[in-house]
A and B are shown apart, each in its own frame.
Chain A
Amino acid sequence: MTSPPSADPPASREGVKFYQVGSFAAGNRLLDPALRTVQADERRANSLTSGHRACQGCGEALGARYTLDAVMRATGGQMVAVNATGCLEVFSTPFPETSWRVPWLHSLFGNAPAVATGVAAALRAQGRTDVRVVAQAGDGGTVDIGFGCLSGMFERNDDVLFVCYDNEAYMNTGVQRSSATPPAARTATTEAVGPQPGNPFGQGKNLPLLAIAHDIPYVATATVADLHDLEAKVERAMAVRGARYLHVLVPCPLGWGSAPRDTVRLARLAKETGLFPVLEAEHGEVVRVSRIRHRQPVEEYLRPQGRYAHLFTASGAPARPDLIGGLQRIADRNVRRFGLLDGGDDEDQGRGSGDRAPAGADPAGASPRSPTGAG
């Protein structure tokens, strides 16, 4: 219900409307054609159009569309997307499900940051500073196999926005754990057996904090529960040059064992429980966090997910209060660490709606091994 942010859109953006105006009818078909959203237009200009073969309720498809649409808006469509191997690549590219409406490169699995670096450098060498580069990958391609290249991209401060769509495991190959898989979650390689079922506690990698530790100009986390927040962060990221990192939590009905209709609800609960801190950092310092408005116990987040079914009885009562407690402690720690509950003050530093500056958060000095659920 807001209008595109730029006051002076380039000619190529004329006629591209990403927001509903006036009515909530699907695609605004009751409106004058000039006022309709792109979804109502058969020549629609979303970066990722319909027709791909993501699962129902795929958080990654939702996150990727809003992210790249926001990049398109911020750049007037002058952009290149580099995509690592993963679900997003697989469900969006085979003919006839080809869904990208942007210049798009599939790199390999672990090298998307390096390939994006090369694209950005070549554009710069040719004086094409108007064309911006986005690289995107899932959590496996970011935190595991791609981390070496990504750290190099951060270190050189290459002019690339790298987006990690984190669904917390290798979903494309059959739900094996990644180092972004949270503790106690069942995957194909961390079965729910033995005294410590699921993924072990004390492992995992918090990539947003690792990115912040590189002192790059901009790092942010977001979820698909707050798409306007996601878009605002993309906009902010595109307003600066240099290496930028955006980590988006995207629930996966297949791998999480959740109902497709719960994707947005689970993303919201991940934030509202404190398991996934939503924050922004500039040049190595956390500058804003999204406040938890209706705090929920982690149980509410865990119970609807099949990957945590071993923590509950059939009637939904806690079967493993010790493990649920361990996850609650991680959430509590995030709340303390990033000041996720502190409210009210410094409202002017955020964008309103719960965003605020952190109270004494010092993530740069924090241990990257701490499983905060944000990794």
Chain B
Amino acid sequence: MTEIQDALEEIESVVGSDYVTDKDFMKAAYSRNVDPAFPDRWADMIVRPSTTEEVSDIVKIANKYKIRMVPRGGGADLVGGSVTQGGILFDMTRMNHIVEVNADDFYCVVECGITWGALVSELHAKGLTTGVLGPGSGYSATIGGGLSNSTAGFGSTKYGLVPDICLGVEVVLPNPEGTILQTGVAANKYAKPFARYGVTPDFTGLFMGDVGTMGIKTKAFLRLAPLPPLRALRYYMLIKNDYNMVSKLLKQLRDKVGDGISDILVIPYPVVRIQAGIAKNKPAKKSRLTGSVFMIGFEAFDQRIIDVYLEQVEEIMTKDGICRSFEMHEIDLDEPLTTDWQFNLKMAFNYFNRFISIVPDMISCTTCHKIPISYIAEAEKKSHDFDAKFHSEFPNKSLSLFATVIYALPNGNCVFVGGFNGYNTEDQQPIAMNLWHKKLRAQVHYGGAHYWLGESISQSIVEAGAYSPEFAAFFKDAKKMVDPNFLLSPEKFHMHQYDEPLSKYEVEDEPY
């Protein structure tokens, strides 16, 4: 403990004694995130740096004493990504400033601890937007967390994932020198951070979706777009519950409407029924629920254009009686009619919260992953087969959903936002954790691409044997180059030490 105490004192001299703590109740407050299946993890200390230079100095101290480090943004993740057993936990939310909004050249520079809620709110007031609004937990999730987890969220159907709008980052490498780098065209020290590609290979990508393993991101350079002033929303319900039809409709919408659509969320049939069941303000007359519901968002700069999009979508969705127009108001009177609907961030940032704890004191073990849209029906079937085969291994009364939402992304792929719920108690956590890994491995085996990796999902990918030996070696070499003392976010991707093959952690699963 002496080394920890020595390090603490040195860190105090960097940030001041008010901004680093090793008190037990503080550690307890940082001991977990949304995830239910992880045991509590107490850091040795929590530090709230305010500048990139402070981060760099702390990294140097950590290297001096060989103390592990984990950066934490909003602490809103569900996959064990931003807690640490022992070591230094960086609470990055003090670095929450907007450094520059360049409305002429459509980019901004922000500190990575700012939340999506704060940034997007500020941008919208200036008639600008990031397009993709960050993860569903965006009120509390930070820009840094969104980049480190390659997340999707509202706007992703049109604008892509969070890294797609990233033009570069300022990052502190976890090496003994605490090296500070800027990527993107900002690698040219004479250039403004206005573009991602050029000057160097795309080193920005090294830090996207890295779940905090390759460096500590302190600033982000983000692409901006003008904020379309006009928005509309429509719902359509499938007359038959047919996931092949979901794929066909998603393709047709992509083919014929394209960028007019900002969001397509398909709410699977079972979830529609759950939503009808948990609605606080149910209508007297029950609506006839027949299939999955498409929620389609539109945006444009001109009402005439919106009208054309609405007409095109209406034609695609209702042709041959495939779908009917639907209103969420039919199952929940608190939901506005689409004709009265007005965009607000609360909808974008609270949409997913409702599914995290459908049953009190049970929290979702998330299995969010991407698949090609042509594979939706097959993946849905595989998920059901898995649940049936391993039914007895689920936590008691657990509800497993292959997707609470199918979220369309650009280029013909989509996210299955799904999972099952487990109890938030120590005796139940191992049950949920074992099944969680098993289910994730099954999804990796059918070609699913997880993006929000944290610890549980990154380890499951390794356990499933997804990486070739050549790729695993390349990955480790890259990690070793930036983190020679192996201090930043250990455990993720089952990288426990450099001289150990990842294949050691592969798991042979029973077929289903």
A interacts with B: no
Chain A residues with a Cβ under 8 A of chain B? none
Chain B residues with a Cβ under 8 A of chain A? none
